[in-house]
Amino acid sequence: MRVFAKYAGTLLTLFLISSTCVCAQNIKPGPNTDKPQFKAGWIGPPDVQLTNYGIYHFRKTLHLATRPADFIIHISADNRYQLYVNGTAVASGPQRSDVSHWRYETIDLAPYLKTGENIIAATVWNQGENAAWAQLSLQTGLLIDGVGTASIANSDTSWRVTENFAYAPIAIGLHITGPFEQIYAQRFPWGWELSGYDDRYWKNAIETEKAIAFNHEKQQGRQLLERNIAMVEEVPQRFKSVRRAEGILAGDEFIKGTKPLEVIPHSNVTLLLDQGALTNAYPELLVSGGRDCKITLTYTEALYANSDGQKANRNEIDGKTVKGNQDVFILDGGAMRLFRPLYYRTFRYVEVKIENHQFPLTINSFSSSFTAYPFAENASFNSSDISLEKIWNVGWRTSRLCAYDTYMDCPYYEQLQYIGDTRIQALISLYVSGDDRLMKNAITQFDQSRIAEGLTQSRYPSGMKQIIPPFSLFWIAMLHDYRMLGSDEQFVENLLPGVAEILNWHEQYISEQGMLSKMPFWNFVDWPKEWPWKGNENVSGVPESALTGNSAVLTLQYVYALNYAEELYRSFGLLQQAKVYETRAKKLVEATYKACWDRKREMMADSPDKGTFSQHTNAMAVLAGAIPLKDRKALLLKIEGDPDIIQCTIYYRFYMIQAFKKAGLGKEYLRLLKPWNQMLDLGLSTFAERPEPTRSDCHGWSASPNYDLLATVCGITPLKPGFKQVRIAPELGSLTWVEAAMPHPLGEIKMRLENQGGFLTGVITLPNNLNGEFIWHHRTIKLKPGIQKIGIKSL
DSSP state of 538: G
State residue 17's pLDDT score: 28
Separation of CA 435 from chain center: 14
Q: pLDDT band at 308, cuts 50/70/90?
A: confident
Give pLDDT tens digits for 85-97.
999 999 999 999 9
Compute the distance between CA of residue 652 and CA of residue 441 in angstroms, rounded to an integer. Answer: 24
Average pLDDT over residues 138-148: 97
Phi, psi values for residue 563, rounded to 5°: -65, -40
The contacts of residue 481 (CB under 8 Å, 6+ apart) are 423, 426, 427, 430
Contact 85, 120 (CB under 8 A): yes
Contact 696, 689 (CB under 8 A): yes
Q: Is 699 helix (H, G, I), strand (E, B) or coil?
A: coil
Compute the distance between CA of residue 189 and CA of residue 474 in angstroms, rounded to an integer. Answer: 49
Task: Give me the percent of the chain exceeding a pLDDT of 70.
Answer: 95
Phi, psi values for residue 399, rounded to 5°: -65, -40
State residue 306's pLDDT score: 86
Region of residue 64 (left: phi > 0; alpha: psi -120 to 50; beta: else): beta
Separation of CA 89 from chain center: 24
State residue 220's pLDDT score: 77
Beta-strand ranges (E) seen in 223-375 are 223-226, 233-237, 241-246, 261-263, 269-289, 294-300, 304-305, 320-321, 325-330, 337-339, 345-355, 361-372
Mean pLDDT of the chain: 94
Peptide bond into 79 cis (omega under 30): yes
Amino acid at 464: M
State residue 216's pLDDT score: 67
Give pLDDT tens digits for 487-513.
999 999 999 999 999 999 999 999 999
State residue 11's pLDDT score: 39
Average pLDDT over residues 143-156: 97
Peptide bond into 260 cis (omega under 30): no
CA terminus-to-terminus distance, the chain? 64
State residue 793's pLDDT score: 84
Give pLDDT tens digits for 400-416.
999 999 999 999 999 99
Look at residue 539 and tell me whether its pLDDT is greater than 90.
yes
Tell me the whole-structure pTM to 2 decimals.
0.95
State residue 14's pLDDT score: 33
Compute the distance between CA of residue 397 and CA of residue 411 in angstroms, rounded to an integer. Answer: 12
Average pLDDT over residues 219-237: 94
Give pLDDT tens digits for 327-344.
999 999 999 999 999 999
Look at residue 12 and tell me whether its pLDDT is greater than 60.
no
Q: What's the CA dihedral at 468, 470, 475, 480 to 10 degrees?
A: 180
Q: pLDDT band at 21, cuts 50/70/90?
A: very low
Compute the distance between CA of residue 493 and CA of residue 485 in angstroms, rounded to an integer. Answer: 14
The contacts of residue 80 (CB under 8 Å, 6+ apart) are 92, 93, 94, 124, 125, 135, 342, 343
Give pLDDT tens digits for 541-567.
999 999 999 999 999 999 999 999 999
The sign of the torsion formed by the CA atoms of 502, 505, 510, 515 equals negative
Average pLDDT over residues 457-480: 98
DSSP 464-518: S----HHHHHHHHHHHHHHHHH-S-HHHHHHTHHHHHHHHHHHHTTB-TTSSB--
Q: Which of 160, 72, 164, 95 is nearest to 125 (CA)?
A: 164
Amino acid at 671: R
Compute the distance between CA of residue 659 and CA of residue 402 in angstroms, rounded to an integer. Answer: 26
Look at residue 710 and tell me whether its pLDDT is greater than 50.
yes
Compute the distance between CA of residue 91 and CA of residue 234 in angstroms, rounded to an integer. Answer: 11
State residue 758's pLDDT score: 80
Region of residue 701 (left: phi > 0; alpha: psi -120 to 50; beta: else): alpha
The contacts of residue 134 (CB under 8 Å, 6+ apart) are 96, 177, 406, 408, 414, 415, 416, 417, 461, 462, 463
Region of residue 131 (left: phi > 0; alpha: psi -120 to 50; beta: else): beta
Average pLDDT over residues 459-470: 97
Task: Give the CA radius of gyration of the chain.
Answer: 28
Average pLDDT over residues 210-215: 92
Give pLDDT tens digits for 232-250.
999 999 999 999 999 999 9
Amino acid at 739: E
Look at residue 5 and tell me whether its pLDDT is greater than 80.
no
State residue 307's pLDDT score: 81
Look at residue 3 and tell me whether its pLDDT is greater than 70.
no
Helix axis angle, 575-596 to 496-507, nearest 10°: 30
Average pLDDT over residues 290-305: 97
Q: How many CA atoms lie within 13 A of 10 on its CB side?
A: 18
Look at residue 582 and tell me whether its pLDDT is greater than 90.
yes
Compute the distance between CA of residue 588 and CA of residue 565 in angstroms, rounded to an integer. Answer: 15
CA angle 486–492–497, rounded 5-degree value? 160
Task: Give me the percent of the chain exceeding a pLDDT of 90.
Answer: 91
Average pLDDT over residues 351-377: 96
What domains appear along the chain, each with residue ranges and CATH number? 2-231 (2.60.120.260), 234-372 (2.60.120.260), 380-713 (1.50.10.10), 727-793 (2.60.420.10)
Q: pLDDT band at 146, cuts 50/70/90?
A: very high
DSSP state of 403: B
